[in-house]
Structure 1
């Protein structure tokens, strides 16, 4: 009897992992969070980009080439030391971040986002803080997730296509996707022939390119075919495995940080937080830092509280209520670090990583609230336009009087697990 129940439980677990992509909203928030964090960082450092990652940096191109030749890291900036090539790569990194944030062609943009992150960070390994390491890892993991199923332009396009088919209309053909696939394939061919990619990276990128082409071809020619179902299953398993890795990585970051802090004498006596508050580099608001450092009890509580929260968090995953409380505490703590210590991008990266543990019900309410706010905003604009048209005696096409019934609009974006080709 027990063996039968155990086998049934395993069967249900396997079915759940392979049946659909889990935590679609959480992975969407992770996508938006890390793309936004990297985008803001690139924009803020735009005036200093040459000194940080470009030809004017203290870590010269020759030194970076020697290091990468030894450790096998990936950076397209090593293909040329020209200033024009650097500007092109930096601009593409910004563009891919924007498009991934919006969720446009997320499968492709996640790969280009990873290329931009690895290229810049591996060019100058001594730049950045702990947040860069988190962005570095998550950029790789996002490639294997279906992070555009909700809250993305891809999800909106898929929903409109399904609505058109439900009305018996023919959906407009997808031209941008195949064109982008062909252009990137041609660029990958040139790079491979030039010998700029190692065998491992060439195989990796060509595999992703071929899988994307197969996915699009099967979805267009045989959307209900068994091969499409098999591709869906493989994508779901890869998504769920990458999601598990993201969760494990986040727990590992907190666990190692907490246990290393326990070994430090300053963390043991409760004074560790006192010292960074007196460093000019970590004091963007000197008056606020002095005010906090002057309160010994507050410093002790923050010091011990940080260690307790970081060590305890991985164990609270077994209790949803306690986990949610500690998750809120950690996000508030990172927000305080951003303000008090002047580490905004580190804090944003950690908050984006924490978002993978946010409850789906909370994200659902958040999305519904944003949709209602958007609907009210557009309704006010419609009323304002109608008023202007009436004042001038103009009848605007499609305008309606305030309170008149209008066409039905979706309450929010993607509140269903969608099997789309994003």
Structure 2
């Protein structure tokens, strides 16, 4: 858990990612009760992330790297300590891009193969396939919500066809910015439904985390700018509240 937190906050990311890629399967394989089908994509993704530069932004490593650039360190040991590149940039960029493309292809294969297997079944073609997993007591985290879903024939049919088509055309939908938004929102809805209605949150979170590589840099910058603006507004309101409180105390004082 500590290694997972370190990877999340971006502390010594390449090393902790490698430890997580080894430690997580070692933990899961000790008992079948700990794992599910989401572990396969997690293992593949973590191995590929070892070769990626995942700590360039929004990480503790990026802060430490900025301090190293200010000090202009040159020795190999100090550059490693501050997280500065030691290998040539063309090599690290090549490894990063190759691993990123490999992860994207893995997701394309997973979604496309899943959709093609679904369309071969009569239940998926008839639009009734989701009835059976939603009706199973073992999958029902919220039984009342599941019953509400599978009792509505129209919703059940639409959700069944939606899950097939959003996976089948996911790779093609990423070509254009407009259809890419539809594809990503569709995946968020599908995996959110799997997490809530079928009790598989870890699988859904893993898939959504890897789907995030298809979100454009422009969107991430927009999100970062809005978060920073929100933080500034909160600080200003807190500061104004402290000033007004100070004025009240001075007016009501002896």
Q: TM-score, normalised by structure 1?
A: 0.53
1:354 maps to what in 2? 211
2:102 maps to what in 1? 245
Contact 1:277 1:293 survives alignment (8 Å): yes
Give 1:341's match in structure 2, choosing from 198, 202, 220: 198
Mapped partners of 1:216, 1:155: distance in 2 = 18
Q: Which runs of no fewer than 5 residues in structure 1 stay unpaired?
A: 1-93, 174-214, 394-422
Mapped partners of 2:206, 2:17: distance in 1 = 16
2:139 maps to what in 1? 282
TM-superposed CA distance for 1:313, in Å, is 1.1
1:413 maps to what in 2? none
Aligned length: 247
Larger radius of gyration: 1
2:7 maps to what in 1? 100
1:116 maps to what in 2? 23
Does 2:181 match 1:324?
A: yes
Give 2:157's match in structure 1, choosing from 272, 278, 300: 300
Higher RCO (Cα < 8 Å, 6 or more apart) = 1
Contact 1:106 1:147 survives alignment (8 Å): yes
Q: Deviations over 1:265-321 (max 9, x none)?
A: 211211100111110011111111111111112111111121111111122233232
Mapped partners of 1:243, 1:340: distance in 2 = 31
Deviates more, 1:361-370 or 1:309-318: 309-318
Give 2:234's match in structure 1, choosing from 374, 377, 381: 377
Give 2:46's match in structure 1, choosing from 139, 146, 149: 139
Q: 1:356 aligns to what SS in structure 2?
A: helix
Q: Which runs of no fewer than 5 residues in structure 2 stay unpaired?
A: none
Mapped partners of 2:102, 2:220: distance in 1 = 21
Mapped partners of 1:257, 1:129: distance in 2 = 16
Change (3 A) 1:101 1:245: same
TM-superposed CA distance for 1:123, in Å, is 2.5
Give 1:149's match in structure 2, choosing from 17, 42, 56: 56
Change (3 A) 1:284 1:146: same
| Cα RMSD, aligned residues only | 2.8
TM-superposed CA distance for 1:251, in Å, is 0.9
Mapped partners of 1:117, 1:146: distance in 2 = 21
Contact 1:102 1:152 survives alignment (8 Å): yes
Q: 1:374 aligns to what SS in structure 2?
A: helix
Mapped partners of 2:109, 2:127: distance in 1 = 23
Q: TM-score, normalised by structure 2?
A: 0.86
Q: 2:208 aligns to what SS in structure 1?
A: helix
TM-superposed CA distance for 1:366, in Å, is 0.8
TM-superposed CA distance for 1:371, in Å, is 1.7
Mapped partners of 2:97, 2:32: distance in 1 = 31
Contact 1:117 1:139 survives alignment (8 Å): no
Mapped partners of 1:339, 1:321: distance in 2 = 27
Summarize the alignment of residues 381-396 of structure 1 with structure 2, pairs less than 5 Å apart.
381-383=238-240
